[in-house]
Amino acid sequence: MATSTTSKRAAGSSAPQSSNTKTVDPDGVHHEYEFGGPLGVTAMMTFFPALFYYLYVCLFFYDGKFATPQDVSTFSGPGGWVDFASTIVGLVREHAAPNKRAATLYLSLIALQLLLAFTAPGVVQQGLPVSRLGGKTLTYHCNAYSSLYMTIAIVGAAHFFGLFNLADIIDLYGPLLTIATISGFTLAAIVYVLGEKYRMSGNLIYDYFMGSSLNPRIGIVDIKMFAEIRISWILLFALSMGACAKQHQDYGYVSPNLALFSWGTGMYLNACAKAEQSIPQTWDMSYEKFGWLLSYWNLAGVPFSYAFSAIYMATHDPATYRYPTWVYFVLFPALTLAHCIFDLAMGQKSWFKAQQTGTYIKRNTFPQIPGTQMKNPKVIITETGSKLLVDGAWAVVRKPNYTADWCQAIIWGLSAGFGSAIPYWYPLFHLTMLLHRNARDDARCARKYKKSWIEYNKAVPYSFIPYVY
């Protein structure tokens, strides 16, 4: 992995230390296991890929219903659990085995995104000071917004002129899932081997899961940010567009249900791309390592499991999950409103952080939500001199972005109706993830800000819903 360009901050930079002084990196020491330690992460690396193959089989071969043994009371007898497992594995082997067509489609999209990451126009942003680099900052080339619309134009033209059919994405969902899974495991292994072995626990399995490298790069491209913005959400949107093409091919139209899901994923992808310059200022980029957790989920887990609603709708008659017309007049505005609140909260937070670090970049990307920039926002000044925002959406609850994000997830699930529970995987999983992340953030901030965090919790007492939680 190439080492990125780094720069010192003009404000607050320290005088050069003598060569005899050893700088202690407070973030470079492993303190405790997360996710249940080696046993827990082994279970996660086994369970989630297996679960997604099982749900794939349910969607394509069991009419979206949960598949079960014919006789749940027997383990090895006829129709029991062993026969059932053999059936599931057999269907995966027959229909989800990797093939040349799937590999070409998946890897071509990755290659296109990598090419655009190097060449597309954008802005240059500085990240937070990195302890591993002695307080230096990394340079990030943020061109996801232009890359997104160049990708849409290229893929759209390829579909229009018959170079490939977007509907093939749905027909090849199983093999694509396998290619993505292999890619996620492989990239994590490559980065682990070539990484700088930062903040290691000493346990091979756990360190592979969490990663060995903090800022892996290929030239100017940051792999963490590339995987999060250029791969996961673009793949999800591609699956959504593939579902639309498949439904139009089979039924002659795109249902309002699938249009609702596609509208949601499109807004979300656009929001991620237009605000890419804010991502280098996040804790994830300055502290979180790149291992299996980020590699697998961004390359396979997020796009292929969050798309379950689209897969269900593309493989079932739209008449079976259609709502009365008035429901769409509720769901479309509700989804748009939830997204705008999410975008506003994220925009206020990013603007506030950028003001503190002097890294604000004004961009004319669309849409610009009014109220993002606040004049003289209310803050709590902590014992360390940091400022905590208690204004705008962040005066209502401590995680307004999480609340709005989950509302979007619920509507994504509702888009597929009630014929299957599988489309509700995303809102259920997302809620679990948001609750875990909230608890993790709360514990970390309590350690960092001490009494000031107690004051902040009194000023903004609820995490997600006022007067509830």
Q: Rounded to 5 degrees, what are φ and ψ at 416?
A: -90, 5
Looking at 26-30, 295-299, 333-337, 401-405, which range is the least confident one? Answer: 26-30
Sign of CA dihedral 205, 208, 213, 215: negative
pLDDT digits (tens, 9 = 90+) for 279-300: 998 888 888 899 999 999 999 9
pLDDT at 23: 58
Q: Are 120 and 146 in contact (CB under 8 A)?
A: yes
221-225: average pLDDT: 95
Taking CA atoms, 175 is separated from 77, 88, 289, 320, in Å, by 31, 15, 29, 27
Residue 22 has pLDDT above 90, yes or no: no
Q: Which residues contact 1 (CB under 8 A, 6 or more apart)?
A: 191, 194, 195, 213, 216, 217, 218, 223
Nearest residue to 292 via CA among 25, 27, 35, 465: 35
pLDDT digits (tens, 9 = 90+) for 120-148: 999 999 998 888 888 889 999 999 999 99
The owner of tokens 């514990």 is: 443
DSSP 8-state symbol, 320: G
DSSP 256-283: HHHHHHHHHHHHHHHHHHHTGGGGGGSH
pLDDT digits (tens, 9 = 90+) for 151-178: 999 999 999 999 999 999 999 999 999 9
363-380: average pLDDT: 92
Which strand (E) or helix (H) includes residue 391? none
Q: How far apart are CA 268 and CA 343, in angstroms?
A: 9
pLDDT digits (tens, 9 = 90+) for 424-437: 999 999 999 999 98
Average confidence score pLDDT of the chain: 92
DSSP 71-121: -TT-SSSTTSHHHHHHHHHHHHHHHSS--HHHHHHHHHHHHHHHHHHHHS-
